[in-house]
Amino acid sequence: MTKFQWAIIGILTVDVIAVFGFLIFLIATSGTGLLIPARTNALVTATVAPFRAPPTSIPPTRIPSCDATEYMRRASPTFQKFYDALKLGVNTPRISLPQVISEMQSTRREFQNLQAPACASEFKRKATASMDAAIDAFMLFLGNAPETSVEQKMREANNLLEDALDELDRLRRTDSFQ
């Protein structure tokens, strides 16, 4: 297994936990049965910085109500499908990656085409940017780019996913989930 694959596995170990937490959240929130995702603080690899913990001293912010529950229910399967393809890509030989990348691109377009309410638009933007960076990392790997470039792009994807999950936490603290 290449260093790239080990780095991706390290990143995915934490990302998959976060994604599964996100999916659990979408299945059952307050009043509608959606559960809030658990956050982790683990080292991804020796070359990737640890995840930052969400701030604990900031009081919940309330913004005007905007029901994001239905959007999150529609976005959840697509979000999971993308990260399933990402996980598959890590264990796919380089020669077979074009098919996996194509699936990731298709799923990313499907996610992008979902109409998000205004209160969830920042989450959607950040999640889409994370998907774009992950696809770019695989494209770099497929094109034999230097390992450092690939790892940097995967760290970017990981950081953007973390930002998207932070945005999801912010939404949770609002009236956006009825």
pLDDT-wise least confident of 84-88, 126-130, 152-156:
84-88
Least Cα distance to 8 among 141, 127, 165 occurs for 141
Q: Average pLDDT for residues 122-132, to the nearest whole number?
A: 95
**Predicted local confidence at residue 44, as pLDDT:** 34
Q: What pTM did the predictor assign?
A: 0.65
Residue 17 tokens read as 């936990």
Residues contacting residue 50 through CB under 8 Å, at least 6 positions apart: 41, 42, 43, 44
Q: Average pLDDT for residues 84-102, to the nearest whole number?
A: 92
pLDDT-wise least confident of 13-22, 83-92, 119-128, 133-142:
13-22
**Predicted local confidence at residue 124, as pLDDT:** 94
**Predicted local confidence at residue 165, as pLDDT:** 86
**Predicted local confidence at residue 125, as pLDDT:** 95
Location of structure tokens 């920042």: 122
User: What is the gyration radius of the CA atoms in the chain, in angstroms?
Assistant: 16
Read off φ and ψ for residue 48, nearest 5 degrees: -115, 135
What pLDDT, in 10s, does the model give residues 28-76? 343 443 333 444 443 333 333 444 444 444 444 444 567 888 888 888 8
Least Cα distance to 121 among 60, 59, 170, 173 occurs for 170
What pLDDT, in 10s, does the model give residues 4-28? 555 555 555 455 445 444 444 443 3
pLDDT-wise least confident of 55-64, 93-102, 147-156:
55-64
Long-range CB pairs of 49-54, under 8 A, 24+ apart, other chains included:
49/155, 51/14, 51/162, 52/162, 54/166, 54/169
Of the two residues 152 and 37, the one the predictor is more confident about is 152
pLDDT-wise least confident of 31-40, 114-123, 149-158:
31-40
